[in-house]
A and B are shown apart, each in its own frame.
Chain A
């Protein structure tokens, strides 16, 4: 984990420096009669973040932090596989929302998870992945009057039927 600790601290330090640079687009000092400038608060906080990230990196280098003292990798092969299979699926799920609607994306994600990752049978997987978005539709659109993304126009006929039930 030592390498992971140092690399992560380095990335966080870079991000902190970027935040300092962005904050400096507004005044970061004290303006007489107006108080601290608009960029002062995030600028100095980002500066503290930068110092802390450097300290974490140095402590990691010296093996003084718990993760840097561990001989285990940050993620083993199972961990990476899980991240790709689950984390990747979440990214695809969110990406699909603008194409096949929130409800369509929920159905696809649940089917993938229960059938492929959970290794449940087709019957249970299909029931969960079809009933959940339908229940969500009636809860959000019917009860809460919140319109979820409908995706591209080819989904319209399905929603027309569902809206006919609500209204």
Chain B
């Protein structure tokens, strides 16, 4: 834990949270964009400090999303969509300060509850996961992909295509077992070194998503001001703690458990919490009209879920969200292998990181409350300055990480491709998750089949792998079963 209070790490936590708050507040940018674009520049600091910095950005972005949701009516990130429902009406009633303070307080409580749950569950889960062999690890990978199919809510063939695309990209370069060149596309030597996850992540989130935002907003993201006074914030803080506690409690716990699910993450967590808070409210009709519980539920949930998503990433090596997928990829680059062994081999790092979650949470609350007027002011930065800066940072940062022009061209290709695929509702997060997990999934599948002499029943007969595989298959076939049931009902009607 002492690692997290070293001067360098403390400084990185505060800088990371501030950067994250800004990124989260900017419409069109979320934690995943921030982490993907800024990951290459973290090679300046030691591995442990780098991941602490990125985790702080992740944390800050969850807080920051609410700022633009409330003051602009545009969610800073998808995780803050539900915050707009009641945050914007409250701001329009002249209570922007109350809305912002409620969001900050709820985020803090959500983050704290999640940190405690994380500290309790992580060592237990890591101990259980120590007994996992290749079949169990592959079954977990299958479950991670299956949750995207079963719970992702996107077009199923497009989701499966995205997952397989990411996995195939991960296999470009050399066959890990025979050492032979594989999938050297169009006979270009650049593919011999493979396609790094960062190339796809920056292409999708740094270039593709920005192009999409420019096209959607017609390049005209305009910002408005909010009336805020420091004095008023303290009375708002009191009012928020009295009027928004129910939503905070719901979001804090529900968000964590939804965040742990591999495909779920903070966005569904916040939407579900909003729905539950409305459902259990004595005055559900006030939701959508500026009810503080409608702000606290999604805000506490998205913070709680962001910590929850770290649980499977660190203990099992399976990311719970696209942002944690990029963090996981970064850890691999830094020579840290996520999974149960991390808790034994890198004890200092793990507990330092967990400690940094607590500090990030406090830092985010303090920076958020102290600088809300500054962040609102910064939101007025013209998008025509921010957008080219992001493109430049993506290209220069991408080169710094890969030192290869072939990869930069690939980033551009992925960015342009991602723009079209996004327009056509192809989910791209599964592809990023898959390119990170591919190098683990393929060898574990091959080792498992070698163990069983090619018999796939090994995934069903082992006590831990069996139930996981069955759940994964149910999730994969669930949408198909629902489709058949709907057709039957229609036919009967």
Interface 1/0 per residue, A29-48 and B, CB below 8 Å: 01010111011011001101
**Is A90's CB under 8 angstroms from B207's CB?**
yes
- Complex: chain A residue closest to B175, CB-CB: A38
Q: What is the distance, in angstroms, from A84's C-beta to the closest C-beta of chain B?
A: 11
- Stretch from B50-58, B263-271, B297-305, B414-422 at the A interface: B414-422
Closest to A146 in B: B400
- B416 contacts A98, C-beta separation under 8 Å: no
Query: Is B211 in the interface zone, CB < 8 Å from A?
Result: yes
A55 to B167: give the CA distance in the assembly, Å.
20
B424 to A: closest C-beta gap in Å: 5
A12 within 8 A of B: yes
B245 contacts A by Cβ under 8 Å: no
Instruction: Knowing A35-B450, A38-B180 are in contact, say whether A46-B164 is a contact too (CB < 8 A).
Output: yes
Q: Which residue in B164, B218, B445 is a CB contact (below 8 Å) of A48?
A: B164
- From A30, A39, A67, give the contact of B182 (CB < 8 A): A39
Whether A132 touches B161, Cβ cut-off 8 Å, given contacts A38-B178, A94-B408, A148-B399, is: no
**B189 beta carbon closer than 8 Å to chain A:** no
Alpha-carbon gap, A46 to B167, bound state (A): 9
Main SS class of interface, B? helix
**Interface residues on chain B, number (Cβ under 8 Å):** 59
Tell me whether A140 is interfacial, beta carbon within 8 Å.
Answer: yes
CB distance from B310 to the nearest CB of A (A): 27
CB-CB under 8 A from B168, the residues of chain A are 19, 42, 45-46, 49
User: Which of B44, B164, B219, B387 is packed against the most chain A CB atoms within 10 Å?
Assistant: B164
**CB of B43 within 8 A of chain A?**
yes
Enumerate chain B residues within 8 angstroms of A35, measured Cβ to Cβ: 177, 446-447, 449-450, 454
Indicate if A162 sits at the interface (CB-CB under 8 A): no
Q: How far is the CA of A9 from the CA of B209 in the complex (A)?
A: 20
Alpha-carbon separation in the docked complex, A90 to B44 (Å): 26
- In the bound complex, do residue B385 and residue A120 qualify as a contact, i.e. CB atoms below 8 Å apart? yes
CA distance A120 to B387 in the complex (A): 14
Counting residue pairs across A and B whose Cβ atoms lie within 8 Å, the total is: 177
**Total interface residues in chain A, CB < 8 Å:** 66
Q: Which of A8, A34, A97, A128 touches B420 (beta carbons < 8 Å)?
A: A8
Q: Given the known A-B contacts A36-B446, A42-B183, are A8 and B391 also in contact in the complex, defined by CB atoms under 8 Å?
A: no
Give A30's nearest chain B residue, CB to CB: B454
Inside 8 A of A144's CB, which chain B residues have their CB?
41, 43-44, 400
Interface string of A79-118 (1 = CB under 8 A from B): 1001100110011011001100010001001100110011
Find chain B residues with CB under 8 A from A90 CB: 207, 391, 395, 412, 415
Enumerate A1-51 residues with CB–CB distance to B below 8 Å.
Answer: 1, 4-5, 8, 12, 19, 22-23, 25-26, 30, 32, 34-36, 38-39, 41-42, 45-46, 48-49, 51
- How many whole Å from A72's CB to the nearest CB in chain B? 10
Which residues of chain B have C-beta atoms less than 8 A from A113's C-beta?
Answer: 384, 387-388, 391
Known contacts A67-B425, A83-B215, A119-B384: A45-B164 contact under CB 8 Å: yes
Q: Known contacts being A41-B442, A41-B445, is A52 close to B158, with CB within 8 Å? A: yes
Annotate B441-474 by CB proximity to A: 1 below 8 A, 0 otherwise: 0100111011000100000000000000000000
* Residues of chain A with a CB closer than 8 A to B218's CB: 78
Give the distance in Å from the alpha carbon of A4 to the alpha carbon of B384 in the complex.
29
The answer on a CB contact under 8 Å between A91 and B157 is no
* Residue of B158, B442, B445 with highest tally of chain A CB at under 10 A: B158
B165 on interface, CB distance cutoff 8 Å: yes
Beyond A119-B384, A120-B382, A148-B399, whether A109 also contacts B392 by CB under 8 A is yes
Q: Is the CB of B182 within 8 A of A26?
A: yes
Other contacts beyond A12-B161, A98-B405: 6, CB < 8 A: A35-B177, A42-B168, A49-B165, A56-B161, A59-B157, A94-B412
